[in-house]
Amino acid sequence: MAEIQNQDGVEVGAESTNVCPACQALLSDGTIQGKAVLYCTKCRGLLISIDRFLPLVEFLRALSQPTGSDVQPRDNFDADRKLECPMCGKTMIGHPYGGPGNVNIDTCEACSVIWLDRSELQRIVMAPDHHPVYSR
């Protein structure tokens, strides 16, 4: 039976044993365009490996033309929070994402994962990239 994408573009599978760092619900296995993620069905955040993040953003950008029309200023409400990595339990590092989208992300360097809150992936994908990298 084929899985169906939800409103965030995630094909949600079974619950995992990993706990959401933002709301403490169990994360679910999922995929976005075939790339594995862990997804929270409660707060709609997602955990993705660092090595899959940029290829996924580039792929999603190719599918939808970034508009830049709704690029919002960064909301720093979550800048000082301390999230626990769902993989290893260490404190994740929160920082502004260096690319387009104007969001704060949380990373665990030990596990090489990124936590994105609800709609942050979409904000990154839809923001114009003023310094695109072109491969030849």
Q: Is there a contact between 36 and 46 (Cβ–Cβ < 8 Å)?
A: no
Task: Give domain status of residue 131, yes or no.
Answer: no
What is the rounded distance in angstroms from the CA atom of residue 124 to the CA atom of residue 126?
A: 6
What is the rounded distance in angstroms from the CA atom of residue 70 to the CA atom of residue 58?
A: 19
Task: Give domain status of residue 10, yes or no.
Answer: no
Task: Give domain status of residue 17, yes or no.
Answer: no
pTM of the full predicted structure? 0.84
How many domains does one find in the chain?
1
Task: Give domain status of residue 2, yes or no.
Answer: no
Which domain, by its residues, includes 70?
Answer: 45-126
Task: For 2-57, write each residue's pLDDT tens digit.
Answer: 457 888 899 999 999 999 999 999 999 999 988 999 999 999 999 999 999 999 99
Task: For 60-110, write each residue's pLDDT tens digit.
Answer: 988 876 565 555 666 666 667 899 999 999 999 998 887 777 888 999 999
Task: Give domain status of residue 106, yes or no.
Answer: yes
